[in-house]
Amino acid sequence: MNRYGGNTSCVQVTFRDGSQLILDAGTGIRALGLELAGAPRVAILLTHLHLDHIQGLMFFHPCFRPECEITIWGPSSPEASLEDRIARYISAPLSPVEVRELPCSVAFNEAPASEWRIGDVTIHAEAVTHRGPTLGYRISDGETTLAYIPDHEPALGASLDELSDEWISGYDLARDVDLLIHDCQYTDAEYPAHVGWGHSALGDSLKFIERVGAKRALLFHHDPLHTDETLDALAAEAAERWRAMGHDPEAIALAREGDEIEVSAPRQGVHAGGQGRSTVGTTAAPQVSTRG
Amino acid sequence: MEGAQRPLELILARNFLTSVTTPAVLVDGEGTLLFYNEAAAALLGRSFEEAGQMRADEWIRAFAPIDDDGAPLELDGIELVEALKTGRPAQTELRIRTASDGYRSIEAAALPIVAGQDKASGAIIMFWTRTDNGKT
């Protein structure tokens, strides 16, 4: 068994009140669906519709439970509705079942330009640099904030060192968050052969994390061709470079399938009562995935 | 959420302009000059870093555009502004004042940037120097 996992992108987030959100529906959502066997409602935020972010839907158990209500949020496109675009995957010849035939009750919502709420949680979506319509999400539970930008190339065509904040893709989403889950698919040496593919090299990921002031970061969306040994080396390099940049190396890690991370906003002034706390399950087997 | 960041389509447009050697300017939906590239800087006579962002009235004052008869052009008189108003491309010829060598005669094309909203969030304006006989 590999140590970083092999499923594609899916993250489970549990909030203070026990409610949950699922970020992306890569193959990691299959095992998660089995854990959600009794859930009456499920909310899924899709960053985009590349296959590695939606291919788990057809294997997601709640989709096949008539009593389950599923709400899927995702990016809009001038070309077709969110439902019609997802239906290209959940339809013949790729699927034996059509979207309209799914036993569950499913609603497709295109993410609005303004913030919206799901229960007590505030969601903000914004377009980010990747191929095709792609969103990043900022999720706030009380004072605790999480940003999820798994597919992102903020340094495309420009050096992050030379850009002011207003010209950095994803800046508003990730600014000062307690946890940032961010693309880091390539080593710096690999990146020149992949410019424009929509993903980040380690150096650009670290610079982005520094620029937005994220308190903690998970490097995500590992290249499927990277072995565990390669990822071990990347993790060690990330920690060393983050230290050299003047930061705590403990605040940077590569996501691993099955990781469970508790996220809390630091106490601010004397207002301890407002402290938020959320749990993020990442990758590997049961809950999440990092590769894709 | 109060944002410090520009819309993605303008970020990508700016990055694109830094990669081309055709003189080009990026404006937002209000006509504010947000950026121009090094090729434009060579033609205008000063770098964007020196000039900085300029509201429409400021760049009108700085570049003092005039038509071929020498008549000053106000913002609404510049056909390129139609790109922002209508979301359609626009093209024009005019003369602008540069910081280095007086007036330059240019031909300019404005491409509106529309991304998911009704009106253009900005425009890319590319321009070319005209020679005396009107050819670029």
Complex ipTM, two decimals?
A: 0.78
Across the A:B interface, residue pairs with CB atoms under 8 Å apart total 49
Judged by a CB distance cut-off of 8 A, whether residue B49 touches chain A is no
CA distance B131 to B1: 49
Task: Name B25's bridge partners.
Answer: B36, B125
Judged by a CB distance cut-off of 8 A, whether residue B16 touches chain A is yes
Written as tens digits, the pLDDT of chain A (292 aa) is 589 999 999 999 999 999 999 999 999 999 999 999 889 999 999 999 999 999 999 999 999 999 999 999 999 998 899 999 999 999 999 999 999 999 999 999 999 988 999 999 999 999 999 998 999 999 999 999 999 999 999 999 889 999 999 999 999 999 999 999 999 999 999 999 999 999 999 999 999 999 999 999 999 999 999 999 999 999 999 999 999 999 999 999 999 999 999 998 875 433 323 333 455 654 433 333 333 3
Element housing B97 (H / E): strand B90-98
Helices A228-244 and A202-212: angle between axes, nearest 10 degrees = 40
Yes or no, beta carbons of A126 and B6 under 8 Å apart: no
CA distance A175 to A178: 9
Interface test with B, best of A145, A166, A173 (most B CBs within 10 A): A166
pLDDT band at B74 (very low <50, low <70, confident <90, very high): confident
Diameter of chain B measured on Cα atoms: 53
Yes or no, beta carbons of B11 and A78 under 8 Å apart: no
Q: Say which residue, B101 or B14, is predicted with more confidence.
A: B14
C-alpha distances in Å from residue A269, one per residue of A141, A144, A266, A275: 19, 15, 10, 11
Judged by average pLDDT, the poorest of A147-151, B21-25, B78-82, B107-111 is B78-82
Yes or no, beta carbons of B11 and A138 under 8 Å apart: no
Determine the distance in angstroms separating the CA of A170 from the nearest CA of chain B, rounded to an integer: 8
Yes or no, beta carbons of A169 and B3 under 8 Å apart: no
Judged by a CB distance cut-off of 8 A, whether residue A126 touches chain B is yes
Structural domain spans, chain A = 11-270
CB A44 within 8 A of CB A73: yes
Domains, chain B, in order of start with CATH, read: 8-129 (3.30.450.20)
CA distance B9 to A291: 28
Yes or no, beta carbons of A169 and B8 under 8 Å apart: yes
CA neighbours closer than 13 Å in the CB half-sphere of residue A93: 0
Which CATH class name applies to A11-270? Answer: alpha beta
- Which residue is it, tokens 């749990």? A279
C-alpha distances in Å from residue A112, one per residue of A46, B84, B119: 13, 24, 17
CA distance A9 to A221: 7
Q: In what order do the strands lie in the sheet with A252-254?
A: A116-118, A121-127, A135-141, A144-149, A179-183, A217-220, A252-254
pLDDT given for residue A279 in this prediction: 58
Q: Which of A127, A138, A165 sits opposite B4 (nearest CB)?
A: A165
Q: Is the peptide bond before A93 cis (omega within 30 degrees of 0)?
A: yes
Residues 100-119, chain B, touching A (beta carbon < 8 A) = 115-116
- Which residue is it, tokens 């036993």? A103
The Cα angle at residue A167 between residues A162 and A170, in degrees rounded to 5: 115
Mean pLDDT (whole number) for B24-51 = 93
CA distance A204 to A141: 28
Q: Which of B1, B8, B18 sits opposite A158 (nearest CB)?
A: B18
Chain A partners within 8 Å of B16 (Cβ) = 157
CB B104 within 8 A of CB B96: yes
pLDDT given for residue A278 in this prediction: 53
CB A253 within 8 A of CB A234: no
Quickly count: other Cβ atoms within 10 Å of residue A130's Cβ: 26
Diameter of chain A measured on Cα atoms: 59
Using alpha carbons, select from A127, A282, A160 the residue that is nearest to residue A218: A282
Chain A partners within 8 Å of B3 (Cβ) = 172
Contacts of B61 (CB under 8 A, 6+ apart): none
pLDDT given for residue B79 in this prediction: 87
CA distance A94 to A88: 8
CA distance A60 to A287: 12
**pTM score:** 0.87
CA distance A122 to B48: 38
Determine the distance in angstroms separating the CA of A286 from the nearest CA of chain B, rounded to an integer: 33
- Which residue is it, tokens 């010829």? B93
- Closest residue in A to B5 (Cα) is A166
Chain A partners within 8 Å of B7 (Cβ) = 127
Yes or no, beta carbons of A175 and B4 under 8 Å apart: yes
Q: What are phi and psi of A137, to 5 degrees?
A: -125, 140
